[in-house]
Amino acid sequence: MEANSAIKEGNAVNVREMIEEKKSKRSMTNVIELIMPKVLLAIATISILTTIGILFTLLSETIEFFSRVPFLDFFTGTVLRPLSQNPEFGVLPLLTGTIISSVIAMFVAVPIGLMTAIYLSEYASDKIRRLLKPMLEILAGIPTIVYGFFAFTFVTPILRELIPGLQATNILSPGIVMGIMIIPMVASLSEDAMSSVPNSMREGALALGSTKLEVTKKVIIPAAMSGIVASFVLGISRAIGETMIVTIASGSSKNFTFDITQSMQTMTAYIVEVSSGDAPSGSTIYYSLYAVAMTLFVFTFLMNLLARYISRKFREEY
């Protein structure tokens, strides 16, 4: 009897311990559930506060610049001579250089990237896809400064043999190399968009007698158009923000021209030149850095808004 009572008391103690352990675990879980939303909110707030801080810095310094240089003179001026005795701060030479280099890059990246995506998504076997995808990723992982020296020491000499009058530093060579750099981005995002199209749409079109090419042109590409357009716009944004390639291969001539054989300077290259030069803090040329950076920020922001609008438009149509 005593042995049975001892066993019962031991079982009761074990049950009480289990109950207490469950209560402690439940209380700990409740504490974690209360704390985690606050921790995640704090982490999300850091990115928001960082963005606000960047905008505040750009705006405050840009306002100071426009208190010294008229707004219209900056955005309509075709001459940029920040270091002359009579400095002029027209941003149009930088805008044209940025736009021309980005357009050249997209003329290279869009057709090659899209054709690569179509091949990987619709035609390539699993073995070839496993071979080509890592090669694209390697291309995307090359540092941009390497691309810059590649453009200056390899591409430019070849182009000078083919195009008479091409300057040693020009906007054509970095534009082409930027396009090569952007190919993996366009190809990867477009291939993901096309691969997400349901196989039932492919099979239905093939069952109706369509060829592989007809299915790709009339079914797959329209269905994936929002993702494809988004990849194009992201590629443009990447080209607009590129720094090292144009800094090395395009030179620092602030020419307002549409001749792609001449040297031009982009907005990012100007920011590098001013920030690494002898511009004293508080001078007008110093504040021009922030005005150009703000222009670049607004330009990229508008491109992102355009990408969202186009993607939504195509999604509604298809």
pLDDT in tens, 76-89: 888 888 877 788 88
- The pLDDT-based confidence of 18 (bands split at 50, 70, 90) is low
Count other C-beta atoms under 10 Å from residue 160's C-beta. Answer: 16
> Average pLDDT, whole number, for the chain?
82
252's CB contacts (< 8 A; 6+ apart) are 263, 265, 269, 273
Please list the residues that pair with 88 across neighbouring strands: 81
User: Do residues 229 and 307 touch, judged by C-beta distance below 8 A?
Assistant: yes
Tell me: pLDDT of 136 over 70.
yes
Please list the residues that pair with 89 across neighbouring strands: 80
Q: In this structure, what token pair is assigned to residue 26? A: 């439940």
Tell me: pLDDT of 260 over 70.
yes
Q: Is 165 left (phi over 0), alpha (psi -120 to 50) or beta?
A: left
What is the C-alpha to C-alpha distance for residues 115 and 103, in angstroms, rounded to an integer?
A: 18
CA terminus-to-terminus distance, the chain? 81
Where in the chain are the domains? 15-67, 80-314
User: Do residues 97 and 265 touch, judged by C-beta distance below 8 A?
Assistant: yes
Quote the pLDDT of residue 249: 87
Tell me: pLDDT of 179 over 60.
yes
Quote the pLDDT of residue 277: 67
Quote the pLDDT of residue 3: 47
Q: In this structure, what token pair is assigned to residue 298? A: 């607004």
* Chain position carrying tokens 């941003």: 91
Quote the pLDDT of residue 139: 81
- The pLDDT-based confidence of 162 (bands split at 50, 70, 90) is confident
Tell me: pLDDT of 186 over 60.
yes
pLDDT in tens, 74-121: 888 888 888 777 888 888 888 998 999 999 999 999 999 999 988 888
For residues 174-181, average pLDDT: 92
- The pLDDT-based confidence of 135 (bands split at 50, 70, 90) is confident
171's CB contacts (< 8 A; 6+ apart) are 97, 100, 101, 104, 246, 250, 260, 262, 263, 264
User: Do residues 108 and 177 touch, judged by C-beta distance below 8 A?
Assistant: no
Tell me: pLDDT of 2 over 60.
no
Supply the angle between the helices 126-140 and 172-195 in degrees, to the nearest 10. 140
Tell me: pLDDT of 47 over 80.
yes
Domain covering 80-314 in this structure, CATH number: 1.10.3720.10
